[in-house]
Amino acid sequence: MSASTNRSVVLITGAATGIGNLTARSLAAAGHTVYASMRDIAGRNVQHAQELVELGQREGHDLRVVELDVTSQDSADAAVRRVLDETGHLDTVVHNAGHLFVGYVEAFTAEDVTRLFDINTIGVHRVNRAVLPHMRERRSGTLLYVGSTTSVVLPPFLGPYVASKTAADALAQVTAYEVNPLGIETTIVMPGPFTQGTEHFPNASHAGDTARSAGYAQLDPLVARNEEATEGLFPEDVDAHPRAVAEEITRVLGLPAGTRPFRTVVDFSQADVEEVNAVMRDAQEKFLARLGFGELLNVTRQG
């Protein structure tokens, strides 16, 4: 690790498995103080929690585990209080917690979709409400969101998930406008699809209204080969593993404050998301400039 790399206190949501777990390991190895958060650390996730704690002890990393359920404001508040009580400050939140729904949109009930938004979208907002008073007081901090290229390419059979990630992305962007003048930085890391290395697909929920799903039976063969079709997008000589996302997050947080990209893409499916992001950013910059709010686009460094 170079001497210029920023070392900070980082809270990661959804760190039991997948990208969150890999990111906790990578950031701790890079010298950051990492709070890997997850639900039910004394129950369903006790093994995941123990593995991270033991890794930190074995490797000499400052890697800690904290209880955090993003569907509870009390839980988010308690997790942030613990970090502040133990370290005195919190520099970065990595918004990673999320869940996947697979199926036909009509076959998900309104309650199903509400539950997914509660995790993937409102969960982000709860954690921000927990941490932003501290960051605003310090006039510094970083909100790093693990978004998704699905909010650009809109793949089929993931409708509620795509909608929830798109909504979370919009909240992240508008929140960035409002915290930029207060010295709080934002980065949205957009992973593409991964068919290995996460529990996203194995743990996915499916549409519970089987009668409605039956109405789309002619599309079942497309759903069945979705994973194979996705893998066919990857170049043969590329290891499409989510550790690349953890490495990118570690790289971004190692950059000097004020120089981190607003968006970065980690996508092995070659979906040209970067080009869409550039066009969208240009349109946003022009619109805000016409409103007279152009200064909201970039973080203001304090002092």
| pLDDT tens, the chain, 303 aa long | 333 356 899 999 999 999 999 999 999 999 999 999 999 999 999 999 999 999 999 999 999 999 999 999 999 999 999 999 999 999 999 999 999 999 999 999 999 999 999 999 999 999 999 999 999 999 999 999 999 999 999 999 999 999 999 999 999 999 999 999 999 999 999 999 988 766 666 678 888 899 999 999 999 999 989 888 888 999 988 888 999 999 999 999 999 998 999 999 999 999 999 999 999 999 999 999 999 999 999 999 865
Catalytic residue among 104, 145, 161, 177: 161
Q: What is the pLDDT of residues 93-141, one digit of tens each?
A: 999 999 999 999 999 999 999 999 999 999 999 999 999 999 999 999 9
Residue 6 is predicted with a pLDDT of: 63
Q: For the domain 9-297, what is the CATH superfamily, name and number?
A: NAD(P)-binding Rossmann-like Domain (3.40.50.720)
29-32's contacts with Cβ under 8 Å and 24+ in sequence apart are 29/59, 29/61, 30/1, 30/5, 30/250, 30/254, 31/1, 31/5, 31/7, 32/7, 32/8, 32/62, 32/253
Q: What pTM did the predictor assign?
A: 0.94
Residue 168 is predicted with a pLDDT of: 98
Query: Residue 81's closest CA among 50, 27, 127?
Result: 127
Structure tokens at 276: 């869409």
Confirm whether 161 is a catalytic residue: yes
